[in-house]
Amino acid sequence: TNRAPELIPLIRIFKKKFFLINNLEYQNILKENIYLCFLKQIKLNYNVLVHGEFERTDMVEYFSENIEGINKTLNGWVQSYGTRYVKPPIILNIKNSQNITENWFEFSKSITKKNIKIILTGPITILKWSFFNNELKFFYCLKLSDIISLEILKLQKNF
């Protein structure tokens, strides 16, 4: 079949979603797209480079996959606004997080000397886009704030 060359990376990403490519190939596709994104920003003479779209499905799901005690839903689509739908995770017992942004930050630093902006989703956004026990919302907000703060400290240490 004839496919537009610009669609090939997207097709690869969709195949990953359906387990037709392995994780290493998927990671390489993401790195390639981040690199191309940076090249465009450098060509436009940006002072601060940013990415965060290629490796994330949405602002909350990406973080929920990396925070212990937040479970991702597969079929719980909810209309966010307009034609935008999200799959809110279910917050049960937040414990700690894995490496959320460090690996992507290290990769970004390896391909440019320019300043890099890391996109972090805040605790309120994570809560607003999630299912959780409303009686514990202040506890969850505080715990998420601690996790995001630790992530920021780790990034600052590596910067």
Q: pLDDT per residue over 35-85, tens digit each? A: 999 999 999 999 999 987 777 767 788 888 889 999 988 777 777 778 777
Q: Phi and psi (nearest 5°) for 157?
A: -65, -35
Task: Kindly state the percentage of the chain with pLDDT values over 70.
Answer: 87
Tell me: the pLDDT tens digits for 105-139?
999 999 999 999 988 889 999 999 899 999 999 99
Listed residue (83, 41, 157, 44) closest to 52, CA to CA: 41
Query: How far is the CA of 55 from the CAs of 26, 88, 101, 112, in angstroms?
Result: 10, 18, 10, 18
pTM score, whole prediction: 0.78
* Structural domains in the chain, sorted by start: 5-158 (3.20.20.210)
Strand pairing class (90-91; 70-71): antiparallel
Q: How far apart are CA 101 and CA 118, in angstroms?
A: 8
Strand pairing class (48-50; 115-117): parallel
**Is the pLDDT at 148 greater than 60, yes or no?**
yes
